Structure 1
Amino acid sequence: MLTRNPDAYGKGDAEFRVDPILALFDIGAVIGTLRRQWPLIAGSVALFLLLGVGYLFTAAPKFTATTTVMIDARKNQLLQTQQVVGDLQIDASAIESQTEILKSESVALSVIKDLKLTSDPEFNGQGGKGLVRTVLGALLPSGPPPSDYQVERQAIGYFLRNLTIKRVGTSYAIDISYTSLNPARAAEIANAIADAYMVGELDAKYQATKRASRWLQDRMTELRTQASQADSAVQAFKAENNIVDTGRGLMSDQQLTDVNTQIVASRAATAEAKARLDRIDQIAASGVPDATVADALKNDVITRLRAQFLDLSAREADWSARYGSAHTATVNLRNQMREIQRSIADEVRRIAQTYRSDYEIARAREASLDKSLASLVGQATLTGQAQIKLRDLESTSQSYRNLYDNFLQRFMEATQQQTFPISEARVITAATEPLSKSAPKSALVLGGSLVLGLLMGCGAAIARERLDNVIRTSAQVQQYAGVECLGVTPDLPKTAVSAGEAKADTANRRLAPSLGLLRYVVDAPFARFTETLRSAKVAVDIKLFERPSRIVGVTSAVPNEGKTTISSNIAQLIAHTGQRAIILDGDLRNPSLTRALTPDATEGLIEVLTGKRKLEEVLWTDPVTGLHVLPVVAKGRISHTAELISSQAMADLLARLRTQYAYVIVDLPPVAPVVDVKAVSHLIDGFVLVIEWGRTRKEMIEEVVGSHEALHSRAVGAILNKANATMLRRIENYKGRYYRNYYHEDA
């Protein structure tokens, strides 16, 4: 890729380099490409629209009916028991699972069998083909009839292709949509799918409950046997270890409690008997008991004897005081008192003997109870150890019993559910016969055809631009030549090429009055061709503004790009403005300028360089613009044109012309086939490169300019020549509108 010459037109700008990969992402370049290739895009759009219209006319209309099913976990609990098969836990994944069930082959096959769809032409491949498929089917040979299995599989495939299951937003509702050629059939199938789904769910629950009931029944038999064996083991262990339960606890525990109670009472009785015995012994030792002791003993004999003793004692005291202590009556009273005391003492001793007997009995009873307690404690210890194992046996027995009871309850529930299953799904909107077709949608088909046509057209346009290997745009000139594009000249109409019948004045070396294409800028001053050359002339003035006289070489990469026409018209344009200008035919091998302007010339540049003629003797003049022309007359093949055109004589001639003319235009040969341009480049102030639009290859321009340093560094710019007028208006879209509005001519 080339770098833009900073001294070219528009000097002072940054160096210019365009990457073709980055060009793909240049929005402006893409838009320009689309505008240039709009016929291709329009053709693509028209083709796809035509295909879309054809499809709409030939495709069989289809109708879609929709049934909406609600997956509701809040179903009626008609059986207030725990279910064997648990309710569906409603969440996003559960809803997705239900949609997959609705799309399953089992549901499809159920509907196909219920509605006998295998005999329907739409499902068995005999109908719904559309016009194109019907015609093709009639033309192509038919094979053997399909088997029942193949018909069924074909029906399932067609059924599922036309079935659409979709969750309604984030709700628990599911839309079941079916598309058919028959609107009534579409509604019938949509409703049948919902029915088949709910029946399938109920049947699945019934089968699951049935399997659970069978398993529960087998398990119950096993648990009943295990529970009986565990209970027998408990009873045998109790009998073996003398463990008797009275309903209020173990018998051994009750006996131990009773003995403990009796021991407490026995010890209290022993203590009481001992206390009475000790007290009676004290009374016996004290003699006549006082009133308190008598009351405590509660003995009638002692009480009576004590009363007699007190009466005699009172009488003895009275009589002793009255009669004296020695009185016989007093002595008798004292004798009676002693007799009563002996009687009291005898009674007390008898009571003490009774108390001692009671005390011994209480002690014997207490000892017996202690012995019984020790025996019961030992027995309780053994029973407690046996109860550890007994509790394990009872726990096992109870576990089996609980399991059996639980399984029995579940079995009863399963039996109830098996006879009355409940589904979580219910239809909230039944499908009705659709009134309008769902496919093909005219707007969608035509819109899709339009978009597809645009995409294909744009893709083809961009591909065509990228695969096009010739120069067509100003941007490509800058990209591959590395110089500023001075403008684009249209391919001139054939009427402008004719030079008419007027002849040149050979005697006075004057050009013909009508030169046609070679003086087009004068004949068509408002044409785009002329304006482009004006731009080139301005670029030369800006580029070479420091030189009072400017030598400009006009060349091209390859022959036949129109450099002679461009150089002649640039010179004519300058001369027509009143400035002194001369044009030299510098193509010594193929002097096309001489053949076009001065076909009758016999002498020219070669004779001047060799000194055979003076400059004034070979110059020709344009009578219209005053342009001077120095032709080249090759009287034979010149083998060393490069040496001649780069000779000192050529340098002297150009130096002389600088002093006489403001502009010296040199029509140089092409750069690629000969080296003449390289040879003379040191004598040229600036180059104008002519590139033929739509013909000159990109790599040729890149190679030619890149390998010619002087041409690249001194290039004023390039002119894109011979552009198609129609294409030019699309290519240069940003200029074309202004040219059409401002100038009278498009050429």
Structure 2
Amino acid sequence: MNSPIRPDRPWQRPAGAAADSDFIDLKKIWHAIWSRKWGIVLLVAAVTVIAAILVARMTPIYKSIATVLIEHEGTPVLSFQPTPDARTELSEYLQTQLSLMQSRGVAAKVVRDLNLTEHPEFDLRQQSKPLVDIGAIVRSLTGEETEPYTEAEIMDYATRVLMDRTAVWVEGKSQLVYLSISMADRLTAAQATNQLAQAYIEAQLEAKVDMSMTAASWMNDRLASLRENLQASEDRLQEYLDAEGLVDLEGVNTISANELSLTGDRMIDARRQRAEAESQYRQVESMRSQGWERLASVPAVLGHPLIQQFKADQAHARSRVEDLSRRYGDRHPAMVSARSDLNAATASLRQQVEQVVASIERNYQLAVANENSLKASFNENKGRIQDISRKEFKVRDLQRQVESDRALYDTFMTRLQETTATSDLSTTNARIVDEAIPPAEPSAPNGTLIMAVAIFLALVLGIAQAIIREILDNTFKSSEEVEAKLNLPVMGIVPQVPRKLRKEVSHLFERSGDKRFCEAVRTIRTNLLLSETGQPRQVLVITSTAPGEGKSSVSANLAFAMGQLHRVLLIDADLRRATLDKSFDFKPGTPGLVNLIGGNAKLEDCIQTVGNVDMIAAGAVPSNPLELLSSPRFAKLIEALKARYDRIIIDSPPSQAVSDAAVLSKLADAVIYVVKSDSTLIPHVQKGVSQLQNSSAPITGVVLNHVDVEKARKNGQFRGYYDHYGYSEQTV
């Protein structure tokens, strides 16, 4: 005999149960994908078919490409215009030209040249209208007439469409520009591409011609203004020369400079002479109060030749007097004559000294006067030269203004003549290298790529949906999960019944319809019997969380399994949704539990025997099922039945739907909780079990019902023969 599966048996848990919860189980992900493989395949197939239909219905688009060589901008029209900065990158220039190619003006010229406003792809009047035109409906209801499109609107629409379908690009660092237009009409696409390239080149030529004409017009206006400025500057120069009486300004300036130089030299000499005279004069003046004898000793006086001569005469006379005085007396005639000569020499010397002193004074006065005269003459010449210099500066300024105006006038005159002569010889720096030809194959749609992307996205979406469903699937899939989440032993695992046998699921054990199912029921019976330590569990209540989990089929088949060993009674206590009478084809109106509790029928009339099992159906649907099950009459009925039967199996309503299960559990010796695999949410089951446990229900274990064994085996949740068949070999 088998013992029930218990959570304290580690060998019954999966190998990775103790692993880290953050560990990504790739095998589990693969099983999740594989278990939903047909859904993924169906999604991919549906998307593939839809994508194929859409690709088949798409209008093929042809792209025609032309190649244009664009060289860097050449020399400007006017040489005095600022030249382009050599540091400017060629790519910046090309980017500017690319924008000009896609400009509205070039596109509009192509539309006009090719008359694209009449082409179906560009004509606003030929465009398809929406299925539901709200504006048209409103106008029809209000009686307002639809206004036709104007020429400006048609032209604007065609231009915008052409701009949207135009692409321009440069490959690498070359100066080759690729121009393309995409259209459904391949011939028109090639024609429009070539016309667009030609329109761009013509627009460049027209722009240069316009620039030349604009420059010529501007230079004409500027030339007249320059002519007036030159004439005005020449008039100002002549008026100034006439007003100042200037003829040869350079000659006058040279003569005045020579005169100033000579006067300066003479003034230097006069200043030196005046200094010498002033020195002599100061010496004489300092000795004047000390007598003429002191004056005679002044170097300026003493150095005079006459003074020296007179001094020599005086010395000679004095020497004669001294010689005679030693021989004669004072009254000697010789002495008197000698003294007379001495006095005469002294008087002459004094007179000569006075004359020399007077001469020194005159020389000093003359030197001062000469110096002042020369200084005045120098200052006069200097002022004259400064005045001439100022006039020269003014004349030079007027002459420079005249020369500048004349040079600018001559430059503009020359450039105007050049521009006028070459205005019709403008060239462009762009030329068509390869003209566009009608493409043989459409460029869009890329059916292969679209199909590949659609299939890939569908596959990714299907896999993601499978993984997300697996992650969000919060249901029980294995006995290990049941034991871990509910902390209750699993009494058995009931496999999923083949679809053709589901209508007879309540008779499977009785008729041995499915071996795996029957072995699973025997396992439940065995585990239930093994769980009885000494006192038999006579009253067994079977319930579930919600309807549809298979509690009634488990109850019926377990009753037949128990019937092989004991006298068994099966009671349908689900008074709201009775199934026993339908499953076993009881006659309509067969009295049941409701009639028995209400005292409207006898026990023998309510008991129906099927095989080796007695059954009591629910009977008529009551208005107060909970009150009936809670009544003392029902408790007395169970006590009476316990005397007649070894096992009483009660099919209880779901625990989450109503409170009947909690009431029935008070009369039970054991409660088996049925959980549908991959169906009932774990929180709901936990809540139902918790409610029964709060009511002190003797929950013995859990039956995991409707298990897809093949799927579980592929997912690695069952690992052997006994797992598949509920330990059948030990319980036969």
Q: TM-score when scaled to structure 1? A: 0.58
**2:443 is matched with which residue?**
438
**2:232 is matched with which residue?**
229
Superposed counterparts of 1:405-444, under 5 Å = 405=410, 407-408=412-413, 411=416, 414-415=419-420, 418-444=423-449
| Counterpart AA for 1:554 | I
**2:513 is matched with which residue?**
523
| Counterpart AA for 2:436 | A
Q: 1:566 aligns with which of 554, 563, 580?
A: 554
Is contact 1:45–1:449 with CA below 8 Å preserved after alignment? yes
Superposed counterparts of 1:226-625, under 5 Å = 226-242=229-245, 246=249, 250-263=250-263, 373-386=378-391, 393=398, 397=402, 400-401=405-406, 403-405=408-410, 407-408=412-413, 411=416, 414-415=419-420, 418-447=423-452, 450=455, 474=476, 489-490=495-496, 492-494=498-500, 497=503, 516-519=507-510, 522-526=512-516, 529=517, 553-557=541-545, 562-570=550-558, 572=560, 584-585=570-571, 587=573, 589=575, 592-593=579-580
- What do the CA deviations read for 1:606-640 (whole angstroms, capped 9, x no partner)? 999x9x9999xx997966xxxx6675686997862
Q: 2:53 aligns with which of 51, 54, 70?
A: 51
**1:222: Cα distance to partner?**
1.1
- What do the CA deviations read for 1:22-71 (whole angstroms, capped 9, x no partner)? xxxx9789858964744762563254135225415xx3x43222123344
**2:350 is matched with which residue?**
none
Q: 2:674 aligns with which of 659, 672, 689?
A: 689
- What do the CA deviations read for 1:690-729 (whole angstroms, capped 9, x no partner)? 55988x89999798678656489958446455x9x9xx98
**1:641: Cα distance to partner?**
1.9
- What do the CA deviations read for 1:638-677 (whole angstroms, capped 9, x no partner)? 86222359848858988999xx78xx75422344665331
Is contact 2:64–2:189 with CA below 8 Å preserved after alignment? yes
**1:423: Cα distance to partner?**
3.0
**2:631 is matched with which residue?**
643
Q: CA RMSD in A?
A: 6.4
| Counterpart AA for 2:631 | E
Is contact 1:176–1:194 with CA below 8 Å preserved after alignment? yes
**2:212 is matched with which residue?**
209
Superposed counterparts of 1:82-97, under 5 Å = 89-90=88-89, 94-97=93-96
1:193 matched to 2:177:
no
| Counterpart AA for 2:514 | A
Give the paired residue count: 589
Change in Cα spacing, 1:254 to 1:189, as seen in structure 2 (3 Å) is: same
**1:668 is matched with which residue?**
652
Change in Cα spacing, 1:266 to 1:284, as seen in structure 2 (3 Å) is: farther
| Counterpart AA for 1:382 | D
**1:200: Cα distance to partner?**
0.6
Change in Cα spacing, 1:633 to 1:112, as seen in structure 2 (3 Å) is: closer
**1:113 is matched with which residue?**
112
**1:436: Cα distance to partner?**
2.0
Is contact 1:164–1:178 with CA below 8 Å preserved after alignment? yes
Is contact 2:61–2:182 with CA below 8 Å preserved after alignment? yes
Is contact 1:606–1:632 with CA below 8 Å preserved after alignment? no
Partner Cα distance (2:550, 2:85) in 1: 89
Q: TM-score when scaled to structure 2? A: 0.59
| Counterpart AA for 2:231 | S
Partner Cα distance (2:442, 2:500) in 1: 59
Change in Cα spacing, 1:411 to 1:366, as seen in structure 2 (3 Å) is: farther
Instruction: Percent identity, please.
Output: 19
**1:177: Cα distance to partner?**
0.6
Is contact 2:76–2:83 with CA below 8 Å preserved after alignment? no
**1:162 is matched with which residue?**
165
Is contact 1:604–1:619 with CA below 8 Å preserved after alignment? no
**1:192: Cα distance to partner?**
1.9
**1:219 is matched with which residue?**
222
Partner Cα distance (2:170, 2:718) in 1: 55
Give the secondary-structure state (helix, strand or coil) at the position aligned to 2:213. Answer: helix
**1:314 is matched with which residue?**
none
**2:348 is matched with which residue?**
none
Is contact 2:572–2:652 with CA below 8 Å preserved after alignment? yes
* Farther off after superposition, 729-738 or 93-102: 729-738
Is contact 2:29–2:467 with CA below 8 Å preserved after alignment? no
- What do the CA deviations read for 1:495-524 (whole angstroms, capped 9, x no partner)? 57569xxxxxxxxxxxxxxx833536x432
| Counterpart AA for 2:253 | D
Give the secondary-structure state (helix, strand or coil) at the position aligned to 2:441. Answer: coil
Partner Cα distance (1:233, 1:451) in 2: 89
Partner Cα distance (1:546, 1:391) in 2: 136
**2:100 is matched with which residue?**
101
**1:379: Cα distance to partner?**
1.6
Change in Cα spacing, 1:648 to 1:733, as seen in structure 2 (3 Å) is: same
| Counterpart AA for 2:46 | S
Give the secondary-structure state (helix, strand or coil) at the position aligned to 1:523. Answer: coil
Partner Cα distance (1:584, 1:161) in 2: 79
**1:209: Cα distance to partner?**
2.9
Partner Cα distance (2:562, 2:422) in 1: 109
**Structure 2 unaligned blocks of 5 or more:** 1-5, 18-27, 132-145, 275-299, 310-366, 726-732
**1:679: Cα distance to partner?**
0.9
